[in-house]
Every structure is written in C-alpha cells, then in structure tokens.
Amino acid sequence: MKKMKLVMVGNGMAGVRTIEELVKIAPDLYDISVFGAEPHPNYNRILLSPVLAGEQTVNDIILNPLSWYAEHHIRLYLNRKVVQIDRQRRVVVADDGPGLAEDQLEAVFDPFVRVETSRSRETGGAGLGLTIARALAEKDGARLWLRNRVEGGLEAVVQWPASAQVTPPGRAG
C-alpha cells in the first residue's frame, strides 16, 4: 500500500501531539514530513520561561528527541521556514539559504555541475537532479528555471503553457 503524504508546517506541541496519535493508531498510513523554523525538535513551550531564566536548558524540555522522529520514519526539517504552500500542486517551499550567484542560476542545469562543494558522489547524488528535472518539464511543454528571492533563498519555477491541463499526482481522472 502506498502511503499518503502528510506535511506539517510547524513543530509545536499540538501538531506533534496529533502526529504522535497518528503513528500510534496507523503507523504505516502516512509518509510524514515536519517543517520547523526553530533549530530544536518539539519542546514544551509552557516550560520556556525557566529556560530563558537559565534554570533549565532546551534539552530539558524536549518532548520528542531527534531519535523519536527517526524511529517513526518522520522527516524533520529544522531551521526551515516555510515560505509558500501550493495545495493544488501539493508543493511546500521552505527556504533559508542565501540563493545562488546570478551566473550560477543557469549553469546548475548542466550535467554534473555542483555549487555545493561539500557534496560529492560519496556523499550522495551525481549532479544530475536539475538536469533531469528540466528535461522532464520540457518533455511536458513546461519551462523550469531558478531565481533568487528578494527576501533570501532560491526559488524553482515551473511554468506550463496556458493550454496545459495540470493534474496533481494521485488525482488522475
């Protein structure tokens, strides 16, 4: 059975409590991703005052450590502010990076080009992802390009011709 995707924006107490129940009653039903703008996993916000007063540490008030997310196969994106949600296409955009130099915006679509020097074939990927993504978009008559956002970060844009009928995945009719 293919899992349904569940994306939670925010890593707060109420939302994560709901996810705790979901993984208890239906552990194989959802492929879960959680986006949190803070650098910490879920913590008890009621106890934040003692942390700010120096009486406790953030680790003392963590409700679900990183290991809990891993044990439940939940992808947790920390320090990731969600800047856009497109429900029709089922896309969530989270961005916190600096973007790219203008001369790299087109070059990264060339095969085997990497702008992040810390990555290599040993650490994952071959530098073909954007090349393949653009080829697939063009196959469907779309255009794919990158642009820097004014408020920081990078945005990938896919534009289909006005005549194209875009059907979100899982909604074929």
pLDDT in tens, 80-93: 888 778 777 777 77
Question: Residues 41-72: pLDDT tens digits?
Answer: 999 999 999 999 999 999 999 999 999 999 99
pLDDT at 41: 92
For 12-34, write each residue's pLDDT tens digit. 999 999 999 999 999 999 999 99
Taking residues 124-153, report their average pLDDT: 81
pLDDT at residue 162 in the model:
61
Instruction: Please answer whether residues 149 and 99 qualify as being in contact, where contact means their C-beta atoms are separated by less than 8 angstroms.
Output: yes
The predicted structure's pLDDT at residue 154 = 79
Residue 96 clears pLDDT 60, i.e. is over it:
yes
> Which residues, other chains included, contact 73 with Cβ-Cβ below 8 Å and sequence gap of 6+?
31, 32
pTM: 0.59
pLDDT for residue 171 is more than 50: no
